[in-house]
Amino acid sequence: MLDLTVIPASGATLPEVRINRHLIDGVFTPSRTGPGTSAVTPEVPGQARDGDSGWIERLSPSHGTVVSRAPIGTIQIAELAIAAARSAFDDGRWSALSGKARATVLLKVADLIEANADRMALIETLESGKPITQSRGEITGAADLWRYAAALARTLHGDSHNSLGPDMLAVVLKEPIGVVSIITPWNFPFWILSQKLPFALAAGCTCVVKPSELTPSTTVILGELLIEAGLPAGVVNIVLGYGQPVGATLAQDPRVDMVTFTGSTAVGRGIAAAASGTLKKVALELGGKNPQVIFPDADLGAAADAVVFGVYFNTGQCCNSGSRIIVHEDIAKPFTARVVELSRRVAFGDPLDPATQVGAIVSRDHGAKIDAYVTAARKAGATVALGGAALQVPGLGPQFYQPTIVTNVTPDMAIAREEVFGPVLTVLTFRTLDEALHLVNDADYGLSAGVWSENIHTCLTFARGAQAGTVWTNTWMDGFPEVTFGGVKQSGLGREIGRQGLDEFMEIKSLVMRIGRTRAPWVRPR
């Protein structure tokens, strides 16, 4: 066994299995519709994907036991949710409210999120496999996104044009786009939802949300909190189940005005194609192959720590994962050795233990995909300097993967170009700034990039030249509600959070007015 820091099973008692339901027009309901079914206790479900039973069981990736159950949504359920959102928007029960009134509800939701953070963090850890301390941080941090969105609701404004001549005035208005479908992934189920939903609500939109079938519970709990905060029925609806047919229905239905999706680039293309038939707006936050470039004059201790954090945070199952480093050849060997040593000290293991920093891989299939990338790199001539196999954690299941560092990587290898989505770091080298920028930009993705140097000219030249939606200098993965986020190239369309994130959910209307006398007639009098 490798000399790694491994946290064994904590022996914690797991809570009772959580039962989730759809939220349609203010009422929680299972999939089956008809007399007497809106509030029934579900029958004993089948296995992880049993179409006959109508229920999905979620097994904890770290503990191997059932932690939640959810009904499998149907086209009919999705259409009911869309109809509820459409009605709520058309009758103005939310969009017609003042910004102050909408902000009041959003602020209540933020308070309720904080009050329920412990129970939400526990179920998120059990469903996703991420460490409990990370789940708590994400839940409580998401409350700040709701508060910032509340501030935007009160300060939303357009533009005026008062210099068009003495008899003309124009006003540019911002209006809610309408019904929004929100489709979220399994890796940050609550955080990513909070990058979308409160901003859509601040704009005055109504929504239908579909969380991942792997991690639905915190989204359903949020539905409970929205009702408690006084959100009108039908403004937010939640449909559980699989991408087919639920996600496809939410993307295709003509009553939906916009779809926003976070997930893989491949699925994002499918969402865009499904939405194209009705020409609805599409916002996509997709994959990344994010580099950190290390120059010899950098604070190498801080850079090494940021590299380790960047690749192992959320077990590397993160679109912003710093999955490749590009190191100046003069320092490549000692810097890589430092990263290897730090990697051995990162605590992998039981997500319920507060000492754990890195938890489980979300599924066995995904673990096999990660391992396949490492195996292919070995065969292509790369060197596995650390890890490269499943990690055995005493008392827990098999869904853990060793911290892995791959050297002697060439830019053409799949592991250097494709999103592995696991705790795997690839190391490349460079000689000049131009060469580093070429390596950074020679990728299909453009989500984020980082540069480490004490030279401000190097940092600014890199920041201007890097093809990425976010560039970090001498830091990694710092983010704030005020600062917008999104990617270029195959990393997506549109922006989230910040003022630009609110604008994604708005339509622009120009109002042009003539003041006083009329203009000269176009039709000449006889």
> Whole-angstrom Cα distance, residue 270 to residue 31?
25
Instruction: Identify the H or E element spanning 126.
Output: helix 117-128
pLDDT tens digits, one per residue of 310-322: 999 999 999 999 9
Q: Hunting for tokens 């409350």 — which residue is that? A: 143
φ, ψ dihedrals at 492, nearest 5°: 135, -175
- Cβ-contact 225, 197 below 8 angstroms: no
Looking at residue 54, what is its pLDDT? Answer: 87
For the sheet with 424-430, list strands across it.
383-386, 404-407, 424-430, 324-328, 291-294, 448-452, 470-473
CA neighbor of 387 nearest in space, from 435, 306, 316 = 316
Looking at residue 180, what is its pLDDT? Answer: 98
> Whole-angstrom Cα distance, residue 205 to residue 197?
9
List all residues 6 or more positions away from 242 whose beta carbon is below 8 Å from its beta carbon: 72, 73, 213
Looking at residue 74, what is its pLDDT? Answer: 94
> Whole-angstrom Cα distance, residue 446 to residue 288?
6
Strand, coil or helix: 381: coil
The full set of domain ranges for the chain reads: 16-284+496-506, 291-473
CA neighbor of 419 nearest in space, from 249, 309, 264 = 264
> Whole-angstrom Cα distance, residue 267 to residue 269?
5
- Cβ-contact 428, 439 below 8 angstroms: yes
- Token reading at 211: 């969380």
- How many degrees, rounded to 5, is the angle at CA 293 between CA 290 and CA 298? 140
Residue type, 16: E
> For the chain, give me the number of helices (H) and strands (E)?
15, 25
> Whole-angstrom Cα distance, residue 451 to residue 307?
11
List all residues 6 or more positions away from 404 whose beta carbon is below 8 Å from its beta carbon: 374, 384, 386, 387, 388, 422, 423, 424, 425
Looking at residue 194, what is its pLDDT? Answer: 98
Average predicted confidence (pLDDT) for the chain? 94
Looking at residue 524, what is its pLDDT? Answer: 86
Pick among 3.20.20.150, 3.40.640.10, 3.40.605.10, 1.20.140.10: CATH of 16-284+496-506:
3.40.605.10
List all residues 6 or more positions away from 491 whose beta carbon is below 8 Å from its beta carbon: 265, 285, 286, 287, 288, 319, 445, 446, 447, 468, 469
The domain 291-473 having CATH identifier 3.40.50.300: the answer here is: no
Strand, coil or helix: 90: helix
- The question of whether 207 is a catalytic residue gets the answer no
Residue 386 CB neighbour total at 10 angstroms: 20
> Whole-angstrom Cα distance, residue 246 to residue 71?
12
pLDDT tens digits, one per residue of 164-177: 999 999 999 999 99
**Which is the catalytic residue, given 124, 127, 213, 285?**
285
CA neighbor of 376 nearest in space, from 430, 322, 412 = 412
- Cβ-contact 105, 231 below 8 angstroms: yes
Tell me, yes or no, if the pTM score tops 0.85.
yes
Instruction: Identify the H or E element spanning 176.
Output: strand 168-176
- Token reading at 502: 């609110």
> Whole-angstrom Cα distance, residue 148 to residue 156?
12
pLDDT tens digits, one per residue of 39-84: 333 333 333 333 334 899 999 999 999 999 999 999 999 999 999 9
**Residues of the chain scoring pLDDT < 50:** 32-53
- How many degrees, rounded to 5, is the angle at CA 275 between CA 271 and CA 276? 120
Looking at residue 334, what is its pLDDT? Answer: 98
> Whole-angstrom Cα distance, residue 316 to residue 439?
21
Looking at residue 396, what is its pLDDT? Answer: 95
**Which is the catalytic residue, given 205, 207, 318, 319?**
319
CA neighbor of 215 nearest in space, from 106, 311, 138 = 138
- Cβ-contact 245, 78 below 8 angstroms: yes
- The question of whether 318 is a catalytic residue gets the answer no
| Polymer length of the chain | 526
R_g (Cα) of the chain, nearest Å = 25
CA neighbor of 311 nearest in space, from 375, 384, 403, 373 = 403
> Whole-angstrom Cα distance, residue 350 to residue 346?
13
User: What distances in angstroms separate CA 236 from CA 81, 82, 110, 218, 262, one per listed residue?
Assistant: 9, 10, 16, 14, 18
SS (H, E, C) 222-249: HHHHHHHHCCCCCCEEECCCCHHHHHHH
- How many degrees, rounded to 5, is the angle at CA 487 between CA 483 and CA 493? 105
Phi and psi based region of residue 387 (left: phi greater than 0; alpha: psi -120 to 50; beta: remaining):
left
